[in-house]
Amino acid sequence: EHVLESTTTKLRDANKLKDLFNDVLSHDLMNPASAVKLAAELLLDIEEDPAKAKIISTIQRSSESLIELCSNASKYAKVSSAEQLEFAEHDLATLLKRAIRDLGHLFAEKRIDIHYDLGKEHFARVNLMITDVFLNLISNAIKYSPEGSVVGVEIQDEGDSWVI
């Protein structure tokens, strides 16, 4: 019984540390990273020297990567505490269409066509973080596809589940 109590206390302490780390990640690291990104964007707008602009672009991309890493780590911390996630019925087709619309500018930049016919409603009991998964998958398809490609998205009914 003493060992069980000790282990439970250690687990609670570990969860408190994880939550603290998540808070630090969300606020204390994201704020300066966002400031660096903004400063780089402003400098890039006024810089005329191509060599300096290339360096500033590297700073901008690196700060965007840092922000994405922090965001992903924060999301992972939330997902690792799955008992805190709320699930509700949502139409997967609607969520996918929203993700596709939000990434429209990236499709245009790489001249990539998106083909999707999501058909009828596809309801599933999910957490809305599934939208982040859709955004990640589709943005990876854009990132790793050659310019002028076609990206396809579909939902298949597998009886007791949906395959996307």
Backbone phi, psi, residue 90, to 5°:
-140, 150
The model scores a pTM over 0.85:
no
Among the residue ranges 45-49, 118-122, 139-143, the one predicted with the least confidence is: 118-122
Over residues 84-127, the pLDDT tens digits come to 678 899 999 999 999 999 888 889 989 999 998 888 889 999 98
For residue 40, pLDDT beyond 80:
yes
Do 67 and 33 meet the contact criterion of CB atoms below 8 Å apart?
yes
Mean pLDDT computed over 69-79: 71
Sequence-ordered list of residues with C-beta below 8 angstroms from that of 77, at least 6 positions apart, any chain: 18, 19, 21, 22, 25
